[in-house]
């Protein structure tokens, strides 16, 4: 069996619910609409499911000019994307400075009511640039590499076999979405992606730049918005996926040839 792209996921809101796609456009910052919205506190500090697991219950239908947000017990939020000359705030994602646009006041009221604390929604437009860090473990990026509100890199890839192997070790299997991949590849050995350096998916090409180091967010049940009381699957992963950098699962990608990826595309290892 040859490696094949089996699933595509976009997360319009950072830490929000996954949205499956049959195809997606690959842009410099990642998949189109992926992690272009983010929740911040009153001081502009970014917030994720690590602190607020209920964020995973927020579903977003992203459009080019407006998006719709839905959450349990809340009326739908219809949100026009802020204009480029709108109000911006100073924020950061893991120390990387960004100046996103503030959403409309009714959006802040909506997300604050759902989460139960004062929060705001911000939006990454074309002018809100965030460069990829220049160096990770000897791997260099290139001038012009950018990333969305994702933690560090434009895309995340995981092989289905890696999850299947993990689930043989767990008392209660977990879905692959616990790891929030953009691309899932079938037809490989477990963690085959650890040995890849450059791949082609359909007509698109990607550098495979760094293993994804895992944290407590993997223990959030995204369908319930709560932490797993047993600390799984992180507890089990510590036993066999610990490295000098931490527990790794999946690989981060930087696009090198843009285009469209589709479920069913062949995945070719170029290096």
Domain coordinates of the chain in residue numbers?
A: 4-31+132-269, 37-123
Q: What is the pLDDT of residue 143?
A: 75
- 83 upstream amide cis, omega within 30 of 0: no
Round to whole Å and give the CA distance between 218 and 174: 10
pLDDT digits (tens, 9 = 90+) for 55-103: 999 999 999 999 999 999 999 999 999 999 999 999 999 999 999 999 9
Could you give the C-alpha distances from 269 to 157, 190, 248, in angstroms and in order? 13, 15, 20
9 alpha-carbon distance from chain centroid: 9
141 pLDDT above the threshold of 80: no
Report the chain's mean pLDDT, rounded to a whole number. Answer: 96
136 pLDDT above the threshold of 60: no
Q: What is the pLDDT of residue 144?
A: 84
Q: What is the pLDDT of residue 194?
A: 98
| Residue 122 burial (10 A CB sphere; 0-12, 13-18, 19+) | buried
| Residue 240 burial (10 A CB sphere; 0-12, 13-18, 19+) | exposed
- Burial 196-222, CB ≥16 within 10 A → b, else e: bebbbbbebbbbbbbbbebeebbbbbb
Q: What is the DSSP letter of 100?
A: P
How many helices and strands (H and E) does the chain possess? 3, 24
183-186 and 155-159 as β-strands: parallel, antiparallel, unpaired?
A: parallel
**CATH-assigned architecture of domain 4-31+132-269:** Beta Barrel (2.40)
Residue labelled with tokens 């589709």: 262
Q: Give residues with Cβ within 8 angstroms of 43, minimum separation 6.
A: none
7 pLDDT above the threshold of 60: yes
């Amino acid at each position: 069996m040859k490696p094949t792209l089996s699933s595509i996921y976009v997360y319009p809101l950072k830490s929000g619910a996954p949205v499956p796609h049959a195809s997606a456009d690959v842009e410099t910052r990642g998949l189109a609409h992926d992690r272009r919205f983010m929740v911040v506190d009153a001081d502009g500090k970014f917030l994720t499911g690590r602190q607020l697991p209920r964020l995973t219950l927020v579903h977003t239908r992203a459009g080019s000019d407006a998006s719709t947000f839905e959450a349990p017990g809340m009326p739908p939020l219809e949100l026009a994307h802020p204009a480029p000359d709108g109000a911006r705030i100073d924020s950061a994602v893991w120390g990387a400075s960004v100046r996103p646009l503030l959403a409309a006041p009714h959006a802040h009221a909506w997300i604050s009511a759902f989460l139960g604390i004062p929060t705001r929604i911000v939006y990454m437009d074309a002018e809100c640039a965030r460069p990829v860090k220049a160096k990770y473990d000897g791997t260099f990026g290139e001038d012009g590499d950018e990333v969305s509100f994702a933690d560090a890199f434009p895309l995340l890839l995981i092989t289905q076999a890696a999850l299947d192997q993990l689930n043989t070790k767990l008392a209660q299997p977990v879905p692959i979405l616990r790891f929030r991949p953009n691309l899932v590849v079938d037809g490989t050995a477990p963690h085959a992606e650890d040995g890849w350096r450059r791949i082609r998916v359909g007509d698109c090409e990607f550098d495979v730049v760094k293993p994804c180091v895992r944290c407590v967010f993997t223990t959030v049940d995204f369908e319930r918005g709560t932490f797993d009381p047993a600390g799984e699957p992180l507890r089990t992963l510590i036993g066999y996926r610990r490295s000098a950098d931490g527990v790794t699962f999946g690989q981060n990608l930087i696009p090198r040839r843009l285009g469209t990826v589709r479920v069913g595309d062949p995945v070719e290892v170029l290096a």
